[in-house]
Structure 1
Amino acid sequence: MPLLSRKEVLNLKLSSIPVDKLRELASNLEVDKRDTGADIVKRLLSCPATGKVIDDFMKLKYIKRIETRRSIISDSELKEELGKVKSFSWGVVQGQLDQKIQAEYVRKIVRYEDLLNSVKAKLHDDVTSYVICTWFNHWTTVLIEEHISTHHKVVPTLKNIKGIDIFFDGQPFDLKVTYLPRDYEPRYATESPKDLAIWMYENQGAQRFGADNRLFVVLLDKDNPEKSWELKRNFSLVFEKIDEFFNKEEVSENDEIIFTFGRKTYTAVSKVLIIAR
């Protein structure tokens, strides 16, 4: 999507607040909190000088969400658990576990004992590796997204809304924490991050296609790209680079990109932060 107006962004922010929290916000602003969430949003949009109040409300509720997570496991404990991962090998292509089970076990093996032996010999290890990699990616991303979402120039969403995780410098972004694509030239990526963004838009899976604004955080071990996963848990470095990026960056028309997908042309606003060592 192209750059949005202040009113359009405010509407998206309000739409990203759960109804119960929306009623609380309306009550704080002495706005009628009856009827549907859409009705409350309309009233809040017509309420003067609510922008900062809404931002502060969303930030406060997000911090409380983090505190809830920390009551289960603290940041330091979670980092310690993530540090226990010794290797990062999917074993199964991400998203294709059921397909592998069907093709290599269910539809191929005809004898029961052979099935059990095959599962013990190979599938158990593959599934274990897959789960560990998925778990590692999830919780490292949680910590990184929490850090980004509490930056003073960022407003986080409070519920899932397609294509929007945060608002940065007054614009909505889908936050993508990822690794440099395999076979993509590291030097070219660092020299031309906009081209990297276009490549990632144009090479996304059809089932998960989106032309929403995206802010890519790309992790790269330049000497050994296969070890980039270890960089993701180097939180002191990652957080330092994130803070440097958000402190200095702004969103402008220069961040608009044009890409092609399925014979159609799209416009999006994209920012790329490459964290390399």
Structure 2
Amino acid sequence: MTNLNFKQLDKCFRGNDFPSIENDSLGIRFLKLRSMSRKDTMEEFAELHDIDLSELKSKEYFAHLFELEQISDDEINDFINSQYGTERAERIENQDYLIDQLNRLQHFDWGGSFGNSLEKNIVNNYVKKIQSYDLINEEIEGNLLSSLRGYTLNSWYNHWTSILIEDLFKDHETVLPTVGLVKKIDFFINDIPFDLKVTYFPEQLLADKLKERGYGNELTRLKQICRKLKIYIPDDLKSKALKLHLHNIVSEDQRKEAKDFISDLNEHKKAIISEAEENPTELKRWFYENQGEARFDASNRFFLVLTDENDMSNSWKLKRNIVYLREKINQHLDSLSMDMSSLETEFYWKGDQKTYNCKSDILFIKYSG
């Protein structure tokens, strides 16, 4: 164990060097206090323990409390749990209403290629391409409004389901929450910090694995079965949308050839996901190495991978199936040994051509009901 000072630990945090923090004698203490480093939270904690902050600026609170030997780890944990208990009580009262509202979303459609930047796409695809006043008004009322609605609804759904799922983890006895929002950490499991990522099995990796298994390209195979069954193939959709469109049509077709095709495709996909579940190292590394460059970090992550085995395009619905998620998450946390060898993750980030080390865990939740 090392003995870094506050400035050194802070530098490690900002530089994505979590192993150095976790290997320090006071590293976890630093992270816990950082999670409660907002001015009002620090002042409340100080008042509770008769600590005078009157001579300090608010930006000095964090370092000051960190260096006070009189503050024990148990006192920090108790305060965090108390703060979370207050927040959680308010959310529990509203939880049934929120779940009901989330269940009203019937289609998960981003409505175009907005990605993470609404402004950039509006400027590039509408402002700079259209000269006609009448035409741009038509686009605003038509395609743009539809895209904006889809983007907003999906973002709303992801935001609130993420809060619900985080609470399922934080309610468990082995988990210590964070206070408020802190970048890179959502909670601690057995004193190991984790950033929760609720996601699905990556489409690109699934496509690569299908090719490795000799299945070939999914869209090409869908087109082949459609031609065989004389199902119309539109030419106005991009590849991703066309694949989903044809998959839905073939899935609803009651002919034996269509049913056999979908059954065979699903079996290949389930086998790929089962193999990843048995040996998750490759998938963990894939998640880290394929994260968006603008949001890159090497923090410890807990990946929750959701799969509807009947129809993977409906996996998004699992995010609001709180009863089922709670059962699976609690089972995992109850049996979690936190074996360090299974958590150690190494990945290469092409952005700065550097190899990073961190800890990660992964839980596959598969639904076939």
One-letter code aligned to 1:14: L
Q: What are the superposed Cα offsets for residues 135-180 of structure 1, whole Å, 9 maximum, x if unpaired?
A: 1111111111122122211111114333111111111111111222
Asked whether the 8 Å contact 2:46–2:52 carries over to 1, the reply is yes
CA distance in structure 2 between the partners assigned to 1:250 and 1:26 by the alignment: 35
1:76-97 deviation line (CA, Å, top 9, x unaligned): 0000000101111111333143
Q: Is the 8 A contact 2:42 2:62 kept in 1?
A: no
Alignment of 1:55-204 (within 5 A): 55-69=77-91, 74-93=94-113, 94-183=115-204, 184=206, 185-204=272-291
- The sequence identity of aligned pairs, in percent, is 33
Q: In structure 2, what is the Cα distance between the partners aligned to 1:61 and 1:160?
A: 13
Equivalent of 2:70 in 17, 27, 47: 47
After superposition, the C-alpha distances for 1:46-76 in whole angstroms (9 at most, x for unaligned) are: 126x2222112101101212334456xx100
Q: Which AA in structure 1 matches 2:75?
A: V
Alignment match, 2:61: 37
Larger CA deviation: 136-145 vs 26-35? 26-35
Give the whole-Å Cα distance in 2 for the aligned partners of 1:22 and 1:256.
33
Give the Cα–Cα distance (whole angstroms) in 2 for the partners of residues 245 and 5 of structure 1: 28
- Whose helix fraction is larger, Structure 1's or Structure 2's? 2
Distance 2:143 2:34 in 1: 47
- 2:257 corresponds to: none
Structure 2 spans left out of the alignment, 5+ residues = 1-17, 207-271
Report the TM-score, using the length of structure 2 for normalisation.
Answer: 0.69
Confirm whether residue 249 of structure 1 aligns to residue 336 of structure 2: yes
Q: Distance in 2 between matches of 1:32 and 1:97?
A: 46
The change in CA–CA distance for 1:13 and 1:123 in structure 2 (over 3 A counts) is same
Question: How many angstroms apart in 2 are the aligned matches of 1:14 and 1:260?
Answer: 30
Change (3 A) 1:24 1:188: same
* Greater mean deviation of Cα atoms: 93-102 or 244-253: 93-102
Between 1:190-199 and 1:255-264, the stretch displaced more is 190-199
Q: Quote the Cα distance in structure 2 between the aligned partners of 1:53 and 1:101.
A: 50
Given the superposition, is the C-alpha separation of residues 225 and 4 from structure 1 closer, same or farther in structure 2, using an over 3 Å criterion? Answer: farther
How large is the RMSD of aligned CA atoms in angstroms?
1.9
Superposed structure 1 runs of 4+ greater than 6 Å apart: none
Any idea what the Cα deviations from partners look like across 1:232-275, whole Å, max 9, x if unmatched?
11111111111111111132321111100022100000000111
**Pair member with larger Rg:** 2
The number of residues matched between the two structures is 273
CA distance in structure 1 between the partners assigned to 2:23 and 2:178 by the alignment:
17
- Higher relative contact order at CA 8 Å, sep ≥6: structure 1 or structure 2? 1
| Aligned residue number for residue 206 of structure 1 | 293
Asked whether the equivalents of residues 162 and 198 of structure 2 are also in contact (C-alpha less than 8 Å), the reply is yes
Q: 2:346 aligns with which of 247, 255, 258?
A: 258
Distance of 1:193 and 1:121 partners within structure 2: 44
User: Helix, strand or coil: the match of 1:134?
Assistant: helix
Question: Which structure has more strand as a fraction of its residues?
Answer: 1
